[in-house]
C-alpha cells in the first residue's frame, strides 16, 4: 500500500516506520524541516526503544521518505494518516487546530487528484470531532463529498512510550470506524494479521474508545495509588496487595463489572467501600476515589429516578428488586432504594422477582431480608410477568431474567420501558424505550 503519514511526532514516526517495515511505501509529512531532514538521513527525530535502527533500515530500503510537500504526498499515496498533536485548550477541551490545518492542506491537495483517497485520523479527538471539525473543511477545500469523492475513517492508536514498536504489532485492541467501503477495506487489510480481535464500528464509537482506554488507565493508576497510601498508613505493603489482586482473573479483572448499567449494591460492595474510606480517614489518608465511587453510585440511582419521573408514570412495574438476579437478597439493593423513593412520591409500585417471591411463597425465614424501604413488600409481588406489564404505566427493568426478555421486547411499543440492565443487546433508547446508559 502507498500511505502518507501527516505529523512526524511520536505516533507518526512509529507508525510510519512500522508501516514501512511491513513493506508499504510511506511518505512522512511535516512542517518542521529538522524532522524531515532527520528522517531522510535515516535518523529518528524521537527517542524510543528500537526506533533508530528501524528508521535507518526502512529509509535505506527506500520504503520511507519525508517531505513538507502535501500535494506530492497526496498524489503519490492512496491513504493518509493524520497523526498530529491535540493538546488541551485552556478550558480543558481538546485542541483541534493542528488537525483542522492538516485537513485543510489534505483537502486542497485532493481537489486536483483524480483518484480516490482515504483520510484516516489517528490523532486523539473527542467523539463527534471527525464529523464536526474534519468533514466540513475536507469537503470545502476538496470540493468533494465524503464517502463518494473521498474516504474517511478514524483509527486510534494504543502505543505506549518505551514499548511503542512492540505495542504496534501487539496492541491488545484494534478498533476503527469508517464512512465508506473503501476505507473500511483498507483498514481491514492493514490489520488482518494482528494477534487480536478487530472491531469495526462507527466513527464516534472509535473516537470514544481511545478516551475510554486512556481514562481507564488513569483510573487504575489513581486507584492503585490510593490503596497504596491507605496500605502504607496501615503498616501494609500496598504493592503486594495490588500484585495479589491482579492475579485474580475471575472477579477482580473480570469484564462482568465493566458493563454500564445501574448502581451496585448487596451485602459487600457498599459497606466495604464505606469501611475502607473510614479506615483511610482514621489514618489521616485522603480517599478521593473511594469517596467519589459512593457519590457516583448514588447519582446513578438518582438518574434512574429522574428517568421514571420523566415517563410521567403513576404506576411502575419493577422487573427485579434484589441487588442482582439469582438471589433473594435485598441488602442495600439500589432497586429497593429506587422503589422506596417512588413509593414516597405516591407512585404505585408492583414487583416481579421470581427469587424473592419464591422465598415468601416457601415461607423462608429470611424472606425479604435486607428490605429497609418497601412497605408491604410481599403484597406487591406479582408472579406473572405478563400481569406486571399489563398493569404498569411504566416498566422498570432492574434485573435480567431470561424468561422475561421476549415479553419485554414485545411490550416496548405499547408500554414505556426504563431499562437499567439491557433487555437485549440490539435495543437502544428510542420512542417508549429508554436505556440508562445506551
Tell me: is residue 259 an annotated ligand-binding position: yes
Tell me: is residue 430 an annotated ligand-binding position: no
Cα dihedral across residues 208, 212, 218, 219: positive or negative: positive
Tell me: is residue 186 an annotated ligand-binding position: no
Tell me: is residue 124 an annotated ligand-binding position: yes
Tell me: is residue 324 an annotated ligand-binding position: yes
**DSSP β-bridge partners for residue 68:** none
In sequence order, the 6+-apart residues with CB closer than 8 A to the CB of 163 are 49
Order the strands of the 416-419 sheet from edge to edge: 348-352, 315-319, 394-397, 416-419, 433-435
Order the strands of the 174-178 sheet from edge to edge: 64-67, 25-29, 2-6, 79-82, 118-121, 151-154, 174-178, 198-201
Length of the chain: 438
13, 51 in Cβ contact below 8 A? yes
Tell me: is residue 159 an annotated ligand-binding position: yes
Tell me: is residue 62 an annotated ligand-binding position: no
176, 159 in Cβ contact below 8 A? no
Report the SS3 class of residue 47.
coil
Tell me: is residue 30 an annotated ligand-binding position: yes
Tell me: is residue 35 an annotated ligand-binding position: yes
399, 322 in Cβ contact below 8 A? yes
Backbone angles phi, psi at 197, to 5 degrees: -70, 145
Tell me: is residue 210 an annotated ligand-binding position: yes
Q: Which three cell numbers stand for residue 138?
A: 475536507
Catalytic residue among 196, 215, 268, 437: 268
CA gap 269, 43 in Å, rounded: 54
In sequence order, the 6+-apart residues with CB closer than 8 A to the CB of 58 are 17, 20, 21, 26, 64
Left if phi > 0, otherwise alpha if psi is -120 to 50, otherwise beta: which for 205?
alpha
Tell me: is residue 245 an annotated ligand-binding position: no
CA gap 336, 426 in Å, rounded: 28
Tell me: is residue 12 an annotated ligand-binding position: no
The reply to whether 268 belongs to the active site is: yes
Tell me: is residue 271 an annotated ligand-binding position: yes
358, 328 in Cβ contact below 8 A? yes
**DSSP β-bridge partners for residue 349:** 316
In sequence order, the 6+-apart residues with CB closer than 8 A to the CB of 409 are 423, 424, 427
Q: Which three cell numbers stand for residue 378?
A: 410481599
Tell me: is residue 258 an annotated ligand-binding position: yes
Please enumerate, by residue number, every residue annotated as part of a binding site.
30, 35, 86, 124, 158-161, 210, 257-261, 265, 271, 324, 331
Catalytic residue ranges = 268
Please enumerate, by residue number, every residue annotated as part of a binding site for NAD(+).
30, 35, 86, 124, 161, 271, 331
Please enumerate, by residue number, every residue annotated as part of a binding site for substrate.
158-161, 210, 257-261, 265, 324
Amino acid at each position: 500500500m502507498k500511505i502518507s503519514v501527516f505529523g512526524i511526532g511520536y505516533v507518526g514516526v512509529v507508525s510510519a516506520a512500522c508501516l514501512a517495515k511491513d513493506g508499504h511505501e510511506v511518505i512522512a509529512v511535516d512542517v518542521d524541516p529538522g524532522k524531515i531532514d532527520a528522517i531522510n538521513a535515516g535518523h529518528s527525530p524521537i527517542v524510543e526503544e528500537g526506533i533508530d535502527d528501524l528508521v535507518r533500515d526502512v529509509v535505506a530500503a527506500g520504503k520511507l521518505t519525508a517531505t513538507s510537500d502535501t500535494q506530492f504526498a497526496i498524489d503519490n499515496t492512496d491513504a493518509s494518516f493524520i497523526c498530529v498533536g491535540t493538546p488541551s485548550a485552556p478550558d480543558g477541551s481538546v485542541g483541534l487546530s493542528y488537525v483542522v490545518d492538516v485537513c485543510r492542506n489534505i483537502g486542497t491537495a485532493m481537489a486536483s487528484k483524480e483518484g480516490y483517497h482515504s483520510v484516516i485520523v489517528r490523532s486523539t479527538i473527542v467523539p463527534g470531532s471527525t464529523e464536526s471539525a474534519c468533514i466540513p473543511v475536507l469537503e470545502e477545500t476538496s470540493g468533494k463529498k465524503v464517502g463518494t469523492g473521498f474516504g474517511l475513517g478514524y483509527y486510534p492508536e494504543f502505543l505506549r512510550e518505551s514499548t511503542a514498536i512492540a505495542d504496534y504489532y501487539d496492541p491488545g485492541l484494534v478498533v476503527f470506524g469508517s464512512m465508506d467501503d473503501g476505507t473500511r477495506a483498507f483498514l481491514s487489510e492493514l490489520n488482518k494479521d494482528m494477534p487480536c480481535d478487530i472491531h469495526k464500528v462507527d466513527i464516534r464509537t472509535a473516537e470514544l474508545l481511545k478516551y475510554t482506554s486512556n481514562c481507564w488507565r488513569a483510573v487504575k493508576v489513581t486507584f492503585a495509588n490510593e490503596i497504596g497510601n491507605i496500605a502504607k498508613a496501615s503498616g501494609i505493603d500496598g504493592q503486594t496487595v495490588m500484585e495479589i489482586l491482579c492475579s485474580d482473573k475471575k472477579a477482580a479483572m473480570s469484564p462482568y463489572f465493566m458493563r454500564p448499567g445501574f448502581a451496585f449494591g448487596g451485602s459487600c460492595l457498599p459497606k466495604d467501600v464505606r469501611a475502607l474510606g473510614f479506615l483511610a480517614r482514621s489514618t489521616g489518608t485522603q480517599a478521593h476515589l473511594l469517596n467519589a465511587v459512593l457519590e457516583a453510585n448514588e447519582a446513578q440511582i438518582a438518574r434512574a429516578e429522574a428517568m421514571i419521573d420523566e415517563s410521567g408514570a403513576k404506576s411502575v412495574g419493577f422487573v427485579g428488586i434484589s441487588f442482582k438476579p439469582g438471589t433473594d437478597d435485598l441488602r442495600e439493593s439500589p432497586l429497593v432504594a429506587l422503589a422506596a423513593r417512588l413509593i414516597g412520591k405516591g407512585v404505585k409500585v408492583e414487583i416481579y422477582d421470581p427469587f424473592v417471591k419464591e422465598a415468601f411463597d416457601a415461607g423462608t425465614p429470611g424472606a425479604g431480608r435486607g428490605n429497609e424501604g418497601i412497605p408491604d413488600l410481599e403484597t406487591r409481588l406479582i408472579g406473572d410477568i405478563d400481569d406486571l406489564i399489563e398493569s404498569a404505566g411504566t416498566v422498570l427493568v432492574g434485573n435480567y431474567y431470561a424468561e422475561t426478555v421476549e415479553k419485554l421486547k414485545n411490550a416496548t411499543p405499547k408500554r414505556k420501558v426504563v431499562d437499567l440492565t439491557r433487555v437485549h443487546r440490539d435495543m437502544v433508547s428510542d420512542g417508549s424505550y429508554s436505556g440508562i446508559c445506551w
